[in-house]
Structure 1
Amino acid sequence: MKLFTFKAPSSSGNGVHVGALDATGSTAVSFTRASRGDARFASMLALVRAGSAILDEAQSILDSHPADAAYDLAEVTLLAPLPDPPRFRDCSLFIEHLAPAFLGMARTLAAAAEDPDAEYERLVATGDFGRPAVFAERVIYYNADHLSVSGPGDEIVAPPDTHHVDYELEIAAVVGTTGRNLTAADAGAAIFGYTIFNDWSCRDLQTEVMASRLGPARGKDFDGANTVGPWIVTADELGDPYQLKMSARVNGETWSDGSSASIEHTFEDAVAYLSRGRTIHAGELLGSGTVLSGSPIEIGKRLKDGDEVELEVEGIGVLRNRLRLSR
């Protein structure tokens, strides 16, 4: 199923619903309305926490829903499918992106120098902009702000202290099981579904604060910085998440092309690692990190005010947003 959170048309009360696409792909079926007050369908987080068995009930509703629970997809407003995850961690599961991204950050830092090329060479020679070996050895992650989740169609307004914002083309997994010490074999069953993730990044701020060696911090921390959507595709429907074409377009022009087949660590690896001696919770979001070529800083391009960014992942869909930079 493709599950999403949406606002119904104003003529229908404009309430927030949890639902899914019907077989035609053009109708949004509201589980919230069809279930007549069942708390398990009150929000996406409640649905995920209800466990995998609820998907059978959801499918039954989808197959035979009351007429007042159906809406034309073109008339509803899609929101972030999981707007209130209890935790959000972005993992470096793709690692090929890191080397060109770090070099791109060195180039950005050197741009203000009197001789940018010489300063770039000096920065690279320090060794601070290489990819540390630890990224290949284990799942590296940082805690993203679970209170700054945005959704499809939202305008992304950059904070006033940045003038260099990038998209990052990622997949995010939704954890469906609360557990501890899950093995890699168990971890597959613990993944509820997948969505697209745009990890908006203020490169000028990120380059400055990463000199602290404490992570991206303010460089990836602003209202709406974590965009997910347009929906969650359940694991059983998506199939193999490691054979998906991934692309990004800016104003209709393709800037990024990649494949999830290039992943270094799987989501199962991440679940097993994150639950080792610790509790992982149903409803958590786990970002994949950026696929190779999946960000403008790698390819010498730069977003400008008003650009429309579309991230597309095969089998999931298209996540579309417009960027606003301070003038």
Structure 2
Amino acid sequence: MRLLTFVQNGGGERLGALAGDGGIVDLAARDASPAFVSMQALIEGGAEALAAAGRLVTQAAETIDPAGVRWLAPLPRPAQMRDFLVFEEHMRMAGWQGAKLRATWGGPPAPPEPMPVPPIWYEQPIYYKGNRFAVAGSSTIDWPAGSKVIDYELELACVIGRGGRDIAARDAHAHIFGYTIFNDLTARDWQFREMQGPLGPAKGKDFDGANVLGPVIVTADEFGNAPALAMRAYVNGELWSEGNSGTMHWSWGQLIEHVSRAETLHPGEVLGSGTVGGGCGLELGRFLRHDDVIALEIERIGRIETRIRAPHVPERLTL
């Protein structure tokens, strides 16, 4: 099933599902169950609520034109956001290109080739916690006035359906509600400055609208345990990035096992894969500017678009 959150005619948030004809089924309009009040409520409702939603979609005789509503992030306020770094190519190239960027600001010269990946990266999954209140769907994002290095990150995200603690990797698939696209917008100048701390990232990724999710959550039953999906990023219609989620070094099961070790994982948490190899401007040595439109596509999920409003960044920075 393909699930979304939308607004119609200036009303409040509505939980929807896409029917076979592409139209939207307003679930709460067909059933007053508390499970259909929001995406979070549906997730917390478990398998029974999801099955009931499926029946409503099948029985719907009329649907809403998707062009006549405003699409929000499918899960507007996740219970928690964690973003991993599971693609080896990104790990290697982002560090090297980051050194080049810092050199342009007067830092030490970058090494002539990518640096070795730190051993800890192969020993356990690495992640940070993001700002769950900074979520947006396809929209225009006002870039922070103090930042001039604008970047996108092409990621796949999984949404936790059933919580738990000390979940074994072999059992983790049963805890996944579904998958969505994640554009982890990043103010690279802020990020590299603050992470000299060495803590973070924080302000470099936590500004309003920085966590772009959508357009739908596709439920886990539509995929196998390890979905290998084609991933692409376009800037103003030009293909910039291309990769595949099947190149993840750590599996979703391993990520869930790691997070839930001695810590309870809750329904509605979002886990980002981190950037696919070549999936950001930093790796490519070129960044975004005012009025750029970034479109991320992931096979079998869809497409999200973000327009950057940053009149203080009229030119494209390149390395």
User: Is residue 19 from structure 1 mapped to residue 29 from structure 2 by the alignment?
Assistant: no
What whole-Å deviation, never above 9, does each CA across 1:152-211 have from its counterpart, x for those lacking one?
2x1111111100010000011000011111111110110000000000011111111111
Structure 2 equivalent of residue 34 of structure 1: 30
Structure 2 equivalent of residue 105 of structure 1: 98
User: Is residue 255 from structure 1 mapped to residue 250 from structure 2 by the alignment?
Assistant: no
Aligned with 1:139 (options 125, 128, 147): 125
Aligned-residue offset at 1:19:
1.0
Q: Residue 282 of structure 1: SS of its match in structure 2?
A: coil
Distance 1:143 1:16, change over 3 A: same
Q: Residue 280 of structure 1: SS of its match in structure 2?
A: coil
Aligned-residue offset at 1:66:
5.8
Structure 2 equivalent of residue 120 of structure 1: 109
Q: Report 1:1-327 matches (<5 A).
A: 1-8=1-8, 10=9, 14-25=11-22, 27-35=23-31, 37-65=32-60, 67=62, 70-113=63-106, 119-121=108-110, 124=111, 131-152=117-138, 154-239=139-224, 241-327=226-312
- What is the CA–CA distance in structure 2 between the aligned matches of 1:302 and 1:294, rounded to whole Å? 12
- What is the CA–CA distance in structure 1 between the aligned matches of 2:277 and 2:230, rounded to whole Å? 12
Distance 1:323 1:15, change over 3 A: same
Q: Which amino acid aligns with 2:101?
A: T
- What is the CA–CA distance in structure 1 between the aligned matches of 2:11 and 2:203, rounded to whole Å? 35
Q: Which amino acid aligns with 1:3?
A: L
Equivalent pairs: percent with the same residue? 41
- What is the CA–CA distance in structure 1 between the aligned matches of 2:65 and 2:156, rounded to whole Å? 27
Aligned-residue offset at 1:241:
4.5
Contact 1:238/1:316 (<8 A) preserved:
no
**Please, what is the CA RMSD of the aligned residues?**
1.7
Q: Matched residue pairs, number?
A: 311
What whole-Å deviation, never above 9, does each CA across 1:69-98 have from its counterpart, x for those lacking one?
x21111111101001111110011223201
Contact 2:226/2:252 (<8 A) preserved:
no
Contact 2:173/2:225 (<8 A) preserved:
no
- What is the CA–CA distance in structure 1 between the aligned matches of 2:86 and 2:238, rounded to whole Å? 26
Q: Residue 233 of structure 1: SS of its match in structure 2?
A: strand
- What is the CA–CA distance in structure 2 between the aligned matches of 1:196 and 1:94, rounded to whole Å? 16
Contact 1:242/1:263 (<8 A) preserved:
no
- What is the CA–CA distance in structure 2 between the aligned matches of 1:65 and 1:24, rounded to whole Å? 11
Contact 2:226/2:251 (<8 A) preserved:
no
- What is the CA–CA distance in structure 2 between the aligned matches of 1:238 and 1:320, rounded to whole Å? 24
Aligned-residue offset at 1:216:
1.6
Distance 1:184 1:240, change over 3 A: closer
- What is the CA–CA distance in structure 1 between the aligned matches of 2:149 and 2:226, rounded to whole Å? 31
